[in-house]
Amino acid sequence: QAKKAGGNTMRFFNQKMQDIINVRTSLEHELRIAVAKSQFNLYYQIQMDSSNRVWGAEALIRWVHPERGLVSPATFIPLAEETGLILPIGQWVIETACAQIKIWQKESLTRDLTLSVNVSAKQFRQTDFVDQVQSAVRRHAISANLLKLELTESLFQEDIKVTIATMNALNNIGIQFSLDDFGTGYSSLQYLKQLPLDQIKIDQSFVRDIAIDSNDRAIVKAIIAMAHILKIDVIAEGVETEEQRQLLLGKGCSFFQGYLFSKPIPIEQFEALIRSGSEFN
């Protein structure tokens, strides 16, 4: 009897594992099709300065799946990284972002917006990454300093010399850098001072409970103090309430991003938001 149950359990687990593998395989297959057919879209989330003026935007990718609808990057970016599909996807993101910056420059939508794009470690480590970015900036004839690349601390765990060299090469042509999800990864003051960083982005996990958790307040205060010493701007992500904004402002945070101002939205809506918002200009 027990043996029989064991056998069934075994089969049950095998079936579960098989299901997981099947889902992954079909998702990978669909992601390849998505790359071939360019089933992606960029959403834009506004970034504000301390006086609630528009400062910039972050481009966030969405997979427009023919049956599933919008697929979040949290679902497919890890798979894209594992399979190497992040390389063509990442290149598409940079191309699309540069094209968008050009449109804004032509339309004089507002004073020039800085557009931030997320770059994954694998993408950044391509030997021709500097050329890719430089070529996109040149072909679209945009000011390089309107493009800001968001990197994560994972890039500083290994090959730190290569990371610094790549960042310097891009910084020399005017590209800006933001360190995303700051405080969640591996940080060392030693390299922070060596990097050509324009901005540190306080991770939303510290912002979420800032009104109720004194530890989070202390961490945020320390991050901002450190950034000021290193002369790096600080932006907080995941700002959802005015109370959070006020607390961050009081600690010296200069830039803000989050649902308090807007969710990430499609380009038409984003441009309408910028045009309509008298409080924004």
Contact residues: Mg ion, CB under 5 A? 118, 150, 180-181, 237
Q: Which does 166 bind (CB under 5 to 8 A by kind): ligand C2E, Mg ion, none?
A: none
How remote is the C-alpha of 244 from its chain's centroid?
21
Q: Based on CB atoms, which residue is closest to ligand C2E, 81 or 194? A: 81
Other C-beta atoms closer than 10 Å to the C-beta of 18 total: 10
2 is a site residue for ligand C2E (CB under 6 A): no
Window contacting ligand C2E (CB under 6 A); options: 98-106, 114-122, 130-138, 218-226? 114-122
Contact 228, 193 (CB under 8 A): no
Considering the complex, what minimum distance in angstroms separates the CB of residue 131 from ligand C2E?
19
Window contacting ligand C2E (CB under 6 A); options: 49-57, 69-77, 104-112, 155-163? 69-77
237 is a site residue for ligand C2E (CB under 6 A): yes
136 is a site residue for ligand C2E (CB under 6 A): no
- Residue carrying the six token digits 């591996």: 186
Residue 72 token pair: 């979040």
Residue 41 token pair: 């879209």
Contact 127, 158 (CB under 8 A): no
77 is a site residue for ligand C2E (CB under 6 A): yes
Considering the complex, what minimum distance in angstroms separates the CB of residue 146 from ligand C2E?
17
Considering the complex, what minimum distance in angstroms separates the CB of residue 118 from Mg ion?
5
93 is a site residue for ligand C2E (CB under 6 A): yes
3-state SS of the chain: helix, strand, coil percent to 5?
55, 20, 25
Binds ligand C2E by CB under 6 A, chosen from 34, 54, 61, 227? 61
Residue 132 token pair: 């890719």
Describe the crossing of helices 129-139 and 86-107 by its angle, rounded to 10 degrees.
30
Considering the complex, what minimum distance in angstroms separates the CB of residue 10 from ligand C2E?
37
Q: Which does 163 bind (CB under 5 to 8 A by kind): Mg ion, ligand C2E, none?
A: none
Q: Residue ranges of the alpha helices (H) in 140-266?
A: 160-172, 189-192, 204-207, 214-229, 242-250
Considering the complex, what minimum distance in angstroms separates the CB of residue 114 from ligand C2E?
15
56 is a site residue for ligand C2E (CB under 6 A): no
**51-76 residues labelled b (16+ CB within 10 A) or e (exposed):** eeebbbbbbbbbbebeeeeebebeeb
Q: Based on CB atoms, which residue is closest to ligand C2E, 12 or 186? A: 186
Other C-beta atoms closer than 10 Å to the C-beta of 218 total: 12
Q: Which residues bind ligand C2E (CB under 6 A)?
A: 45, 60-61, 72-74, 77, 90, 93, 118-120, 150, 180-181, 204, 237-240, 258-259, 264
